[in-house]
Amino acid sequence: MTRRDLILLGAVAAAILVAPVFASGYVLGILVTTGLYGIATIGLVLLVGLAKQVSLGHAAFYGLGAYVSGLLGTRLGLHPLVTIPLAAAAAGAVAYLVGRPVLRLRGHYLAMATLGLGVVFQVILNEWVDVSRGPSGFSGIASIAVPIPGMTRDGRTLYVIWAVALAILALSLWLVRSRAGRALRAIGDSEIASELLGIGTATWKLRVFALSAAYAGIAGALYAHYVTFLSPQPFGFVFSLELLVMAVVGGIASVWGGMIGAFTIVVLTEVLRRSLPSSLPGASGELELVLFGAALIAMVVVWPTGLAGIAASIGARVTPRLRRALRPAHG
Amino acid sequence: MAEPTPLAEMRGVWREFGGIVALRDIDLAVAAGEIVALIGPNGAGKTTLLNILSGVLGPTRGEVRFRGTSIVGSAPHRAARAGLTRTFQQLQLFTSLSALENVLVACEARSSARVDPSEAMGYLDTVGLHGQGHAHADTLAFGQRRLVEMGRALAARPALLLLDEPAAGLSGAERRALSELLIRIRAQGVTVLIVEHDLELALSVADRVVVLDQGVKIADLPPDAVRDDPGVVSAYLGTP
């Protein structure tokens, strides 16, 4: 983690801390959603950006985390502090089982396997009614809002979700610069060369995939305790795709990019949801998907480093000028 | 007297791609401490042989051993951990890492202890890339990128180093530096199998030259006998 990362983390923490005082419930909702999606997207950044392995089923891990935490809470009365880590572990374990056979192979088999996993997960949620309560879902999930008198539930939930999100950000920023991060980037660049240096590429890919799924599991679990109601509908393929779009738009190789991408897409979705019915009457949610698809292609073609890459290059241009401007003039 | 176990060995190795036979019944043994040059015209099967010897590719038939243990069907990193590494004709640098990090990854792969960056820096110095550590691997000139790959391979501290055309794309001065480097590497006890098109370079560093032609091993000679061998001349060197 660099000094810049620490400053940014501090700035984000401060912004979140004061947000409930200034921001409306609507804006707080956007920030909560950004935190949730950001956690899952950062997991994808580690998986796709470093190890160059694609998951098309992250919605399933998010959903699995949500259902594990929600069901353990409502059925067994366990506290979220217990069920959220269990949700992360469950998502990680499923990823491990799915990844183990396919990650021994070189190539994009993981994308295929996770695509299948997403479909299977939807079927299980809809059909295993005794456990999942089927398509109609269930409610009564405990809220994780911290008790602060005089603050709305949105604000109190925001604190909890962003405490976790900041921890995930910090952990991931450390990870990418660690020895493990270097090994993963090496694997992403050349699996063969990594193997020939003695790096067990299958093991490393499996680890980062499980970690990435665990992130999604945590985010899903937090989501369950935020909305307090679950049904299978939000955890389909479209959401997996949206998470990938967030990662690519933000900058696939940047941890901050994951958070930036999540924020951008959440805001864009809101803007579209508000403006589309008036500007294009009869347009459905499908159009949203078309626009995201176009955004994805545009980013990959024009700015492959994403918004984080753009921000970094602007920063690199502006910083020396700022320094020059701020330096006291001599003679 | 019994022959000592070779460091690496291939016995009766065949490799087919579809209907094409790339390697035909190859026997090859590399003893510890020697430099073996593998030469042959384009398409002779040199890179296929390196791929099989390094475990990247499995043989269709036959046995491949490193330090007496079969490597057929096992992941290449196992042989790598036992001391076998290689460079690539098509460079396989870690392009999202700096030159120094490329080498650092190799140091870290062989030891779980903390690696001092100065150790990695040392390998860059060895290959003549002093002070270039922080350059991004894909911003370096081609010859320098080859040297990064070489430094990275050395950082793995191999017992057997397979080099696939290390001089390709290098300037005259860089070639001379490379042959000096190879001699220094051998002095450190590293065994080298080098595939090289530059015959001058190959013959000047090798103890033994293996010649492949159309997937068949046609000669295994000391370097000074290569130019006089009629089979090698007709297959590879052409008429003078």
DSSP B98: B
The mean per-residue pLDDT over the stretch A147-160 comes to: 86
Any A CB within 8 A of B108 CB: yes
Minimum-distance CB partner of A253 among B84, B96, B109: B96
Q: Report the percentage of chain B scoring pLDDT > 90.
A: 47
User: What residues are paired with B193 via a beta bridge?
Assistant: B36, B162
Nearest chain A residue to B137 by CA distance is A189
Q: What is the Cα–Cα distance from B178 to B169, expressed in whole angstroms?
A: 12
How many Å lie between the alpha carbon of B47 and the closest alpha carbon of chain A? 14
CA A219 to chain B, closest CA, distance in angstroms equals 29
What gap in Å lies between CA B25 and CA B215, rounded to an integer? 8
Question: Per the CB < 8 Å rule, is A198 touching B95?
Answer: no
Q: Tell me, yes or no, if B109 comes closer than 8 A to chain A by beta carbon.
A: yes
Using a CB-CB cut-off of 8 Å, the residues of chain B touching A188 are: 96
Would you say residue B240 has pLDDT above 50? no
Cβ–Cβ below 8 Å for A194 and B105: yes
Whether B76 sits inside 8 A of A192 (CB atoms) is yes
User: How near does any CA of chain B get to the CA of A251, in Å?
Assistant: 14
By C-alpha distance, which of A244, A237, A227 is closest to A295?
A244
For the cut 90, the answer to whether the pLDDT of residue A2 exceeds it is: no
Q: Would an 8 Å CB–CB cutoff place B106 in contact with chain A? A: yes
**pTM for the full predicted model:** 0.89
Tell me what the mean pLDDT of segment A24-42 comes to. 93
Per residue in A269-298, pLDDT (tens digit) is 888 877 777 777 666 666 777 777 887 788
ipTM of model: 0.89
- Residues of A in Cβ contact (< 8 Å) with B92: 189-190, 192-193
- Could you tell me the CA-to-CA distances from A120 to A124, A232, A236, B117, B222 in Å, in that order? 6, 12, 10, 47, 63
From the list A104, A183, A201, which residue is nearest B108 (CB)?
A183
Tell me the average pLDDT of chain A: 88
**B61-66 and B160-164 as β-strands: parallel, antiparallel, unpaired?**
unpaired
CB contact under 8 A, A189 and B80: no
Residue A264 has pLDDT above 60, yes or no: yes
Q: Which candidate, A222, A234, A44, A235, places its Cα nearest to that of A121?
A: A235
Q: Do A190 and B93 touch (CB under 8 A)?
A: yes
pLDDT at B68 over 70: yes
Q: Mark yes or no for CB contact B88/A192 under 8 Å.
A: yes
Token reading at A9: 């983390």
- Indicate the residue of A189, A190, A198 with minimum beta-carbon distance to B77: A198
Chain B nearest-CA distance from A207, in A, is 16
With contacts defined as CB-CB under 8 Å, which chain B residues touch A179?
108
pLDDT of residue A21: 84
In DSSP notation, A226-264 reads HH-EE-SGGGSHHHHHHHHHHHHHH-TT-HHHHHHHHHH
CB pairs under 8 A between A and B: 82
B92–A197: do the CB atoms touch at under 8 Å?
no
Q: How far is A284 from A111, CA to CA, in rounded Å?
A: 28
Check the CA dihedral A83-A84-A88-A89 and report its sign. negative
Report chain A residues whose CB lies below 8 A from the CB of B102: 186
**Structure confidence at residue B238 as a pLDDT band (50, 70, 90):** low
Q: Would you call A196 and B77 a contact, using CB atoms and an 8 Å cutoff?
A: yes
- Greatest distance between any 2 Cα atoms in chain A: 82
pLDDT tens for each residue of A214-226? 999 999 999 999 9
pLDDT at A287: 74
Q: For CA atoms B94, B57, B156, B170, give the dihedral sign.
A: negative
Q: CA-CA distance, A169 to A204, in Å (whole number)?
A: 20
Joined together, the tokens standing for residue A118 give 């997403």
Cα nearest neighbour of A201 on chain B: B77
* Closest CB to A197 among B75, B101, B106: B106
Taking each helix axis from N to C terminus, what angle separates A237-250 and A58-76, rounded to the nearest 10 degrees? 120
Q: Any chain A CB within 8 A of the CB of B66?
A: no
Type and span of the H or E element at B195: strand B191-195
Please determine, for residue A238, whether its predicted confidence score (pLDDT) is greater than 60.
yes
Q: Select the residue from A52, A196, A201 to test the B interface by mutation, using most B Cβ atoms within 10 A.
A: A196
Give the C-alpha distances (Å, rounded to integers) separating A76 from A73, A80, A81, A328.
Answer: 6, 11, 14, 66
Contact A195 B104 (CB under 8 A): no
- How many Å apart are CA B36 and CA B43, to the nearest integer? 19
B88, B104, B109 member nearest A198 (Cβ)? B109
pLDDT, tens only, A87-130: 999 999 999 999 998 888 777 788 888 988 999 999 998 889 88
Q: What is the dihedral of CA A259, A263, A269, A270, to 10 degrees?
A: 150
Residue of B nearest to A192 (CA): B56
Mean pLDDT of chain B: 88
Please give the residue that has the higher pLDDT: either A251 or B105: B105
Provide the pLDDT for residue A108: 79
Q: Are B198 and B175 in contact (CB under 8 A)?
A: yes
**For B207, phi and psi rounded to 5 degrees?**
-90, -25
pLDDT of residue B66: 93
- Residue B5, pLDDT > 90, answer no
Dump pLDDT digits (tens) for B155-176.
Answer: 999 999 999 999 888 888 888 8
In our burial notation (b when 16+ CB lie closer than 10 A, e otherwise), range B132-167 reads: bbebebeebeebbbbbbbbbbbbbbbbbbbbbbbbb
| Inter-chain residue contact A190 with B92, CB threshold 8 Å | yes
What's the confidence (pLDDT) of residue A70? 94
Exposure string of A57-80, with b = 16+ CB inside 10 Å and e = fewer, is bbbbbbbbbbbbbbbbbbeeebeb
Determine, for residues A196 and B56 on separate chains, whether the beta-carbon distance falls below 8 Å. yes
Please indicate whether, in this complex, the C-beta atoms of A196 and B106 are within 8 angstroms of each other: no
- Using an 8 Å CB-CB cutoff, list chain A residues near B54: 196
Tens digit of pLDDT for each residue in B22-54? 999 999 999 998 999 999 888 888 999 999 999
Predicted confidence band of residue A134 (pLDDT cuts 50, 70, 90): confident
